[in-house]
Chain A
Amino acid sequence: MKVLVAVKRVIDYNVNVRVKPDNTGVATANVKMSMNPFDEIAVEEAIRLKEAGTATEVVVVSMGEKKCQETIRTALAMGADRGILVETDDELEPLAVAKILKGIVEKESPDMVFLGKQAIDGDNAQTGQMLAALLDWPQGTFASKVELADGGVNVKREVDGGLQTLKLSLPAIVTSDLRLNEPRYASLPNIMKAKKKPLETVTPADFGVDTAARVKVLKVEEPAKRQAGIKVETVSELVDKLKFEAKVV
């Protein structure tokens, strides 16, 4: 089976994000960028399917400016076979991303598409579900375990009350949660090899997708800052404060 994985280039999760003084967004100049951590987990899962002999090819897609090539190369160094960059300088909303991915799916005909459950920049958590809807495929979101069985796929999902397992028919969409696996680090030889793997560049227009924004960002602000309070010396002082100052117990 063929597996498609969608990856996003985002501000590295260790970076302390700063709002721009003009309130138009967050500062991205000279900031370390990385693959969205949930997408790394999605790539790892696809590669494991290949190593297990289940998947025959792992294709990685990313969208955005030319530098997204780096993100694709990271996935190729982890073990994916080839990459597709949908190059655009436009800010793509999840619905537009899903529409472009639909076009790629129709061209590539994968049996499964893996995505991260959310990107840590916009925190939208929409793209996988939207792609599933547009393709009329079933979805297994927030996956913590994926098992192919009886011609379908069983997806264990992290839900509010605990865990839930769904049986999906194929083809299907799976979005990865944190505990699906621990992604590998690419070795130096594999990073070198990845440079020779095929990487094709296309544009949103190739799929006839209108990428005009539906949602306008009016402003981006710092959240209300919480002030550090006081240090108490003893547990009894703490309980005293909670009872008589904060009045919460």
Chain B
Amino acid sequence: MSTLPFASYSSPDLEKQFVVDPSGPQYQTTDGVTTGPSPHVLNAGQVDKDKPAPPKQMDNGEFTALGCLRAQLTGLQDDINKFLTDRMEHAKRKKAKLDQDKDRDNRINKEIKDLLDGGDDDNNGDDSSQ
């Protein structure tokens, strides 16, 4: 039976697993990097009053089982947030490229159409004899 949180992602073009490494520092803190105020806000002097409490500790200084779980969830949440943010950026760039390609195709098609349609007139702007 699994003792660590685990996540799996799937979309039409990609599958990905998220696993927790309990020895990794990002899975031993409740202070996530993708949650809470942005560095921009903190650098402007804002105090983070909603900062999560650190994992609860037992008398011997070790984290409680639920304290460990909360820290592991924080790290897993960061992993998922970063991954999905990258995917969003990728989708945005892909859409921008598609829009750009579409604009270019429309422009080329219009130029071809203008050339074909205007071919009979041979209107070069100097023709004022009409």
Q: Is chain B a partner of chain A in the same complex?
A: no
Measured CB to CB, the residues of B under 8 A from A are none
Measured CB to CB, the residues of A under 8 A from B are none
